[in-house]
Amino acid sequence: MDTLIIQGGKTLSGTIPISGAKNAALPALAATILAPGRHILHNVPDLRDTRTMLLLLESFGITWQRRDDGALVIDATEIDNIEASYDLVKTMRASVLVLGPLLARMKRARVSLPGGCAIGARPIDFHMKALAMLGVDLTLEHGYVEGKVSGRLSGNTVYFDIPSVTATENILMAATLAKGTTVIKNAAREPEIGNLIDMLIGMGATIEGRDSDQLIVKGTEELSPGEISIIPDRIETGTYLLATGSAGGAITVTDCRPDHLPALLAKLRGAGLEIETGEDFIRIARTKILKSVDIKTSPYPGFPTDLQAQTMALMCISPGLSVIAETIFENRFMHVAELRRMGADIRIDGHSAIVMGGTPLFGAPVMATDLRASASLVVAALAAEGETVISRVYHLDRGYDNLVGKLSNVGAKIRRISEKRE
């Protein structure tokens, strides 16, 4: 397995361009199942997870190619298989996003249950309850969800106890081809859902309530192929802003959407970092001593849980006490033990981590446990004295396009060692 080697203490300067958002690209790729024909997706990042989703689409009989201009052309004319196999689904929980579209178009689906995940149990009960409300006959057997629809899906009002991102996306996609109107109450409001709504409307869907917690979908008999440009990745953006806070210096992040990061930018300013924003760039500079801030993760537009681990790394070097409350996932502190190995002073108290920041961090061999935890270790390593070796970096490859190149280009001393396969 590959490792990253980072020499801490180098300040950053220069420009980092942001790639398309993983969590917008995955539902958009699944949405191509809804309509036969050639869909065009611009700015899809080349990541392990997007490659997995493309393999899944191929397993259904869908074909694709990347155009010279980088756009993905996806031909969903033929679908001759409705089963999402365990060996693909176990590597990416977001595979559940094919369930709604397959049921809507093919009236049948057999999708492996995703199985466990490092950051929490992450059940899919909201997805299943809501699909049943739309008329799906669901059974669970041998680790697979089997769904059948007699006739067409029928619109209904569904309510989510928690504004689940992928459950909202799954039901939204299914409802576009249902008979009648579907109302989704307590819907998630992440920008990636807005991007999916833009794609679905471009395919002929009728959807009201974009960016709100109530979506109203008037179903239609069929949709046409879509064309969409994937929005910039707000979590990648936040990660590089936090990396600069940690390493020191000043960088400009380009091709990004500052308006998608209201909570993080407020916290970075609260930590004493200088932030200037334009329509598609953010300039950040560390010009004075950092200050500790408290954070509490919550659904958008609250503080993103996907930036919690990386922010904790910054708080480790910010003098003072920082209370970090994780309200979304029950086990998203796997990075704490690794940060402690680097000298961090962190105590866990239930769903909160208490960080006593300001003591120096030291380079150490550490292990990535999940996607954002591995990003947290990179952020910490940039500030640490000496060399940090991060193992299991395949976690990073799921969500960061060319992280080593982007950080090297702004002065970080970071390299990747590929282990020879025997």
Q: What DSSP string describes 402-417?
A: SHHHHHHTTT-EEEEE
Rounded CA-CA distance 297/357 in Å is 19
Q: For residues 375-414, which are near ligand EPZ according to CB under 6 A?
A: 399
User: What count of other Cβ atoms lies within 10 Å of the Cβ of residue 49?
Assistant: 22
CB of 220 to ligand EPZ, least distance (A): 25
225 near ligand EPZ, judged by CB under 6 A: no
Q: Which of 39, 105, 110, 127 binds ligand EPZ (CB under 6 A)?
A: 127
CA dist list (Å): 164 to 94, 172, 252, 352, 422: 12, 12, 32, 21, 42
Site string for ligand EPZ, 287-326 (x = CB under 6 A): ------------------xx--------------------
Nearer to ligand EPZ, 26 or 250 (CB): 26
Catalytic residue among 1, 117, 140, 417: 117
Stretch that binds ligand EPZ, among 117-125, 207-215, 221-229, 265-273 (CB under 6 A): 117-125
Helix (H, G, I), strand (E, B) or coil at 240: helix
Nearer to ligand EPZ, 372 or 406 (CB): 372
Q: For residues 77-106, which are near ligand EPZ according to CB under 6 A?
A: 94
Q: For residue 99, what are its two tokens?
A: 């369930």
Site string for ligand EPZ, 166-205 (x = CB under 6 A): xx--------------------x-----------------
Contact criterion met (CB below 8 Å) for 359 and 292: no
Rounded CA-CA distance 168/15 in Å is 35
Nearer to ligand EPZ, 23 or 52 (CB): 23
What radius of gyration do the chain's Cα atoms show?
22
Stretch that binds ligand EPZ, among 146-154, 157-165, 283-291, 389-397 (CB under 6 A): 157-165
164 near ligand EPZ, judged by CB under 6 A: yes
Nearer to ligand EPZ, 237 or 318 (CB): 237
Q: Which of 1, 140, 162, 348 binds ligand EPZ (CB under 6 A)?
A: 162
Contact criterion met (CB below 8 Å) for 57 and 101: no
Q: Is 117 a catalytic residue?
A: yes
DSSP E strand stretches across 239-396? 249-254, 274-277, 281-286, 295-296, 320-325, 346-349, 352-357, 365-367, 387-391
Question: Which of 330, 316, 411, 345 is closest to 11 using CA atoms?
Answer: 411
End-to-end Cα separation, the chain, in angstroms: 11
CA atoms within 13 A on the CB side of 311: 34
CB of 152 to ligand EPZ, least distance (A): 24
47 near ligand EPZ, judged by CB under 6 A: no
Rounded CA-CA distance 182/208 in Å is 11
134 near ligand EPZ, judged by CB under 6 A: no
64 near ligand EPZ, judged by CB under 6 A: no
Active-site residues, by number, are 117
Interface residue list for ligand EPZ (CB under 6 A): 22-23, 26, 94, 120, 122-127, 162, 164-167, 188, 305-306, 328-329, 371-372, 399
